[in-house]
Amino acid sequence: MISDPTRMRILLLLGEEPLSVAELQQILGMGQSRISTQLSLLKKENLVTDQRSGKNNIYSAQIPPELKNIVNNAGPELPEREKDRRSLRHIIRKRKDQVRAYFDDLAGKFGREYVPGRSWKGLAEAMLKILNYDTVADLGAGEGTLSQLIAQRAKKVIAIDSSEKMVEFGKKLAKENQLPHLEYRLGDIEAPPITDHSIDLAIFSQALHHAENPLKAIREAHRILKPGGRLIILDLLQHSFEKARELYFDTWLGFSEVELAEMITQSGFSEVETAIVDREEIPPNFQTLLASAIK
């Protein structure tokens, strides 16, 4: 099964990053039918899994331990391997650039323009759980509406966002509102520029569904939290409103409670709790999912 070079290339790529058929087409330079056929064969042998995300299936590698060494050792022998890896980096970079451009344009418009799942009821539910924390990281903070609310209680708040304009706007608001202990930093939620074990509370507020790799982002939150620190996630409950990808540059169409709880548990957290805390009355009736856990 894995002796076929095309299937080997696909396995190696999916071992690094979950991808759609369209993205595999771009990287491999092959037609959709050929790639779909290879994926079907790999799936039949339980070497890949797929997850529905809107209209797309996102594929991931599921390589058993006894085959991992064979696959990894065979990788460098493939003449296309380095090209595939460069193309993969390009695809990931393009995804991030599209999302960053969307949020650059949105800077300064929060509160005036609709943002799915950003309900004050949902924020209030989260606020009840985050009182009296010394050091807080707001991961994917945007212009920092939530950061500014938390900064009125916490001793220090670090707001992380990948949009330069969002960070600039947030710094301006923090200065205007006289919040010197609110610090904005440019960075990615999958690699936040925060030292290990330095945070009491890490919070994602409607940010995780924009991540390329939500599990990696949650694991990074675990890295920066102190032992006993708390994780809070506010995000969209899984939905089927495909237009959210174009309208809001969503990477994922929300998460189910089970899926989010599993990612949190895999990242090393305990005492995982989830609840649906809000449902919008207008179509497509987005619902807000709240999760919390302890390191």
Give the model's pLDDT for residue 143: 80
The arrangement of strands across the sheet holding 19-20 comes to 19-20, 56-61, 48-53
pLDDT at 58 over 70: yes
Instruction: Give the CATH class of 5-100.
Output: mainly alpha
Q: Provide φ and ψ at 197, rounded to 5°.
A: 55, 40
The mean pLDDT value of the chain amounts to 87
pLDDT above 90 covers a percentage of the chain that reads: 49
Residues 6 or more apart from 204 whose CB is under 8 A from it? 139, 140, 189, 217, 221, 232, 233, 234, 235
pLDDT at 114 over 70: no
CA-based nearest residue to 189, from 162, 164, 150: 162
Of 52-56, 153-157, 228-232, 258-262, the poorest mean pLDDT is in 52-56
Contact present, 211 and 187 (Cβ < 8 Å): no
pLDDT at 135 over 90: yes
Domain ranges of the chain: 5-100, 120-294
pTM of the model: 0.64
Per-residue pLDDT band at 120 (split at 50, 70, 90): low
Asked if domains 5-100 and 120-294 share a fold, the reply is no
Contact present, 273 and 217 (Cβ < 8 Å): no
CATH code for residues 120-294: 3.40.50.150
Q: Provide φ and ψ at 195, rounded to 5°.
A: -70, 155
Question: Could you report the per-residue pLDDT of 184-214, keeping only the tens digit for each?
Answer: 999 999 999 999 999 999 999 999 999 999 9
Give the model's pLDDT for residue 215: 96
Of 24-28, 47-51, 86-90, 285-289, the poorest mean pLDDT is in 86-90
